[in-house]
Amino acid sequence: MIVPIRRFTLVELLIVVFLLAAVAATAVSVLDGADEQLRYDDTRARLSALRVAILGDERPEGRARASGFVADVGRLPATIDELLARPPSVAAFDPAFGFGWRGPYLALPPQRAGSPPRYPDGFGNDPGDPNHGWQLEFTPPPPIAAGTQLVLRSRGGATLGAPETTLRPEDGFVDASGLQVRVVFDDPDVAATLAGLGVSLRLRLHYPVDGAPAVLDSTDGGVFVPLGLPGRSALDFAFPSEQIPWGARRLSVVTAAGAPFGSGVPAQVLLLPRSSLPRFEMPWSVNP
């Protein structure tokens, strides 16, 4: 007895093909979605690295690494290129003052051999411009100043949007008006000594503006403080309102005319953003 062989009908074959195509399309969609999410997460991680490169790395428990473009140069970067190569107008890092460009500030992703350094977002949006595909929005528009706000934004992907981060002035700058310093002199009555010399003193704060040295002097000659200690007295100094880039800043004693006075080791004060400014003492001698 011959058993007839049953064959698929054209309709059944079309149904099978349709089901296989649907499964394949679903798999491709899932893989595309997973790839998009990975690129989005990579972009957010690169945004965080850019934020640290620009503002520095604040550490817990009041400790901080006084680095980052703002702390070193005294302004926001005009382009991403400035984080990777020193701008011609900015001096190299000077250890004596503790500021100047000391990049590159970014660890680059894998690069093609022989290609220039690039830092695009995780989606690969890089048309070759000085911002490496990122969008930099300054408010107010340039020229960049201490009060400038920066929104740093990716161009985004197909579905998940464009990650961004906002760098506000208070994230990288400190108002010097909260800084109070007591300078302790090796003199029982420094006020009388200075009066006899016909000298008025100022306390000078050194900081960078566009990578170049700048100074801010205290508001007056200081307030005399008799300490009641043998051979010691002090002057208390305060500063006017001025936006100073955060970081380790150098202090020295000068006359009202700006000439160095006496002798001592210039102090370093760490100014932290969004924190109360310190009150501290620094020793100084009236003698050269």
Residue 97: per-residue pLDDT: 82
Q: Are residues 141 and 43 in the same domain?
A: yes
Residue 62: per-residue pLDDT: 46
Q: Are residues 50 and 152 in the same domain?
A: yes
> Of 167, 201, 221, which marks where a domain is finished?
167
Encode pLDDT of 178-229 as tens digits. 899 999 999 999 999 999 988 999 999 999 998 899 999 999 889 999 888 8
Q: Are residues 139 and 177 in the same domain?
A: no
Q: Are residues 273 and 246 in the same domain?
A: yes
> Of 167, 186, 208, which marks where a domain is finished?
167
19 occurs within a structural domain = no
Q: How many domains does the chain have?
A: 2
Q: Give me the residue label for tokens 């005294």.
A: 74
13 occurs within a structural domain = no
What is the span of the domain harbouring residue 266?
A: 173-284
Q: Are residues 115 and 161 in the same domain?
A: yes
Token digits of residue 96:
């004596």
C-alpha pair distances (Å), 252 with each of 203, 213, 219, 269: 6, 14, 14, 11
> Of 151, 167, 183, which marks where a domain is finished?
167
Q: Residue 29 — very low, low, confident or very high, per pLDDT cuts 50/70/90?
A: low
* Best CA proximity match to 216, nearest among 178, 261, 166, 251: 251
26 occurs within a structural domain = no
115 occurs within a structural domain = yes
Q: Are residues 49 and 133 in the same domain?
A: yes
251 occurs within a structural domain = yes
Q: Are residues 146 and 231 in the same domain?
A: no
Residue 34: per-residue pLDDT: 61
Residue 50: per-residue pLDDT: 96
Encode pLDDT of 231-251 as tens digits. 899 999 999 999 999 998 999
